Amino acid sequence: MAWMASSRLRLNSNKTELIWLGAARYVKLCPAGPFLIAGVAITPRLKIRDLGVMVDSDLSLKAHVQHVTAVCYFHIRQLRLLRRSLTFGAAHSLVRALIHSRLDYCNGILANAPLGRLNSLQSVLRSAARLVLRLPPWSSVTQLMRDQLHWLPVHHRITFKLCSLAFKPVLCLAPVYISRMCSSVASVESRARLRSATSGHLLIPVTRMSTVGRRGFYYACPAAWNCFPPELTAVNNSQSLWAFKKQLKTFLFRCD
């Protein structure tokens, strides 16, 4: 507060948001406000927007999934009006730009999320595939997404994002704050001789929260990385990120 006053700064009530984070039973016990912060009255909200991600008070990400699905379905409806005038390649490019970019943006936060959240996003992906392939709404499109469009399902897209982010920390090319959350088993002296150390596994921290704790990047990223065989996780400095992503996507397609 003193620093803001000395720098002649003040909070903008239209751009400042406050939220209580925690379990629903604890959030109900928090004061409703409003709170006077730097001379501005701020009322806590049940959900806020942070870097394009909708964060709700219980960290269920329900609001974020609803927002993403609503925006994606809006673009799908608009593209349906133009589909007859578009070639297959043009429709495919527009779907990747308008739909995939939103489904893949910060999708790592959905790791270990409830199946219902992922099913909503998977329904969006199926609708987008029917749009590109010009299929009726009731037709099955799961196999066609794999064979013709080469699209990964939502849960594999999340795994793909997490493992792609873990690639650089494994090679010590990432910022420190990310590398600290992706420490290799071989870096621990007491575990350096274990089989997991030679296979390129990462340390999975112990968490007391079985739901929210396992959805954090510090847990979800190493856990996703350790699920793959040594030929993928034992990377070296001569391997490029593009080559790793290609191998990873091929392996994920084989998992279905």
3-state helix, strand, coil in the chain (%, to 5): 55, 10, 40
Least trusted range by pLDDT, from 6-15, 90-99, 113-122: 6-15
For residue 229, count other CB atoms closer than 10 A to its CB. Answer: 10
Least trusted range by pLDDT, from 18-22, 73-77, 155-159, 162-166: 18-22
The ranges assigned to domains in the chain are 2-45, 56-151, 164-255
Q: Is the pLDDT of residue 179 over 90?
A: no
Contacts of 108 (CB under 8 A, 6+ apart): 158, 161, 162, 165, 217, 220, 221
Looking at residue 137, its pLDDT comes to: 86
Task: Name the pLDDT band for 170 (thresholds 50, 70, 90).
Answer: confident
Q: Is the pLDDT of residue 239 over 80?
A: no
Q: Which residue has the higher pLDDT, 35 or 198?
A: 35
Average pLDDT taken over every residue of the chain: 84
Looking at residue 191, its pLDDT comes to: 63
Task: Give per-residue pLDDT as tens, 126-140.
Answer: 999 999 999 998 888
| 55 beta partners | 48
Any idea what DSSP says for residue 54? E
Q: Are 195 and 188 in contact (CB under 8 A)?
A: no
pLDDT above 90 as % of the chain: 30
Looking at residue 98, its pLDDT comes to: 95
Q: Are 65 and 109 in contact (CB under 8 A)?
A: no
- The burial class, CB within 10 Å (0-12 / 13-18 / 19+), for 162 is buried
Task: Name the pLDDT band for 97 (thresholds 50, 70, 90).
Answer: very high
Q: Which residue has the higher pLDDT, 133 or 20?
A: 133
Looking at residue 187, its pLDDT comes to: 67
Looking at residue 194, its pLDDT comes to: 62
**CA separation (Å) from 57 to 18, 22, 44, 51, 66?**
10, 6, 10, 16, 15
In this structure, are strands 44-45 and 18-19 parallel, antiparallel, or unpaired? parallel
Looking at residue 85, its pLDDT comes to: 92
* d(C-alpha 214, C-alpha 204), whole Å: 10
E strands within the chain?
18-19, 35-37, 40-42, 44-45, 47-50, 53-56
Least trusted range by pLDDT, from 17-21, 55-59, 151-155, 234-238: 234-238
